[in-house]
Structure 1
Amino acid sequence: MANTVATIEIPTSPDQVWKVIGGFNSLPDWLPQIIRSSELGEGGRVRRLENIDGDVVVERLETFNEKERYYTYSIDQAPFPATHYEATLRVRENGGKGSLVEWSGKFTPVGVSDDEVINLFHGIYTDGLDALKKVFQA
């Protein structure tokens, strides 16, 4: 199983950052250049995403912790070369300097090397966190 972690510092309180990213259906709010739409199903436990290329990704909420500001999700359907995908998006206090946001994932590559799939997801996480930071710089 392969894994990767991306982090970013944002000079905004963790509660404010969590208000933007803490909703399982909020990806289009801070990733509009990647995610075109997000629809919830199964009582809010499943989201069906469509990216800007028209690809569909179906993700399932596994764990949600409002108090500690994180959620974990898995992928039921996606065009990615990986299985057994599970990721966590977390917002933490950054020593009085705002927030430290972490997006981590683990997955099993299918038909590609560990490095290829790690680079794919690390790029998605890094680009996503950069987009998130820009929300607070606007």
Structure 2
Amino acid sequence: MHTKQAITKKLNVPTDKAWQAIRGIDRLDVWFPIINTCRVDGTGVGAHRHMTLEGGKITDLIEEVSDADQRLVYLRTESPFPVTHYRGTVEVFDSYDAQAVVTWTIDFESSPEDSAAVADLVKNAISDGIDGMEKDLLAH
């Protein structure tokens, strides 16, 4: 079953600061409470992001980093979650007051009986991660 889950939040940080943090791809262990470690092999498109959490390991392949569109796209190639396909798109937009609006969209495939639980997990985890990113950016 194909599911799309989007989370959008306005941050109290400038758009460019948010984009630079996202394009860095390496601070998910600081932003996301469920991620214990995060290390990156390579840079930009083709880089692999390796994360650990209590339930296992996650590996992402970076597919797109567009400064012009302020968009990062990654394919999750290893996941402890019951999904057969998982792609994330993170975009940063300007709000009317030059603050960042982050939209993090997850497209995933799972069995019909797992889709609601995965969507809920993704929604909560991404929301927590965006909140964590904002706290980190405000502190630095």
**Which TM-score band applies after superposition, normalised by the shorter structure?**
0.7 to 0.9
TM-score, with structure 1 as normaliser: 0.85
Q: Distance in 2 between matches of 1:54 and 1:48?
A: 17
Cα root mean square deviation, aligned:
2.3
Q: How does 1:1-138 map to 2 (within 5 A)?
A: 1-31=2-32, 34-41=35-42, 45-53=46-54, 55-110=56-111, 112-138=113-139
The runs of 5 or more residues in structure 2 that have no matched partner are none
Relative to structure 1, the CA distance from residue 97 to residue 43 in structure 2 (aligned partners, 3 Å threshold; closer, same or farther) is closer
Counterparts of 1:43 and 1:19, CA distance in 2: 12
Cα separation, 2, equivalents of 1:107 and 1:96:
33
Q: Would the alpha carbon gap of residues 116 and 134 (structure 1) be closer, same or farther in structure 2, given more than 3 Å must change?
A: same
SS of structure 1 residue aligned to 2:123? helix
Aligned length: 138
Q: Take 2:46 and 2:32, find their aligned partners in 1: how far apart are those partners?
A: 20
Q: Structure 1: which 5+ residue stretches go unaligned?
A: none
Deviation at 1:28, TM superposition (A): 3.5
Is 2:48–2:61's contact at 8 Å kept on the other side of the alignment?
yes
2:121 maps to a residue whose letter is L
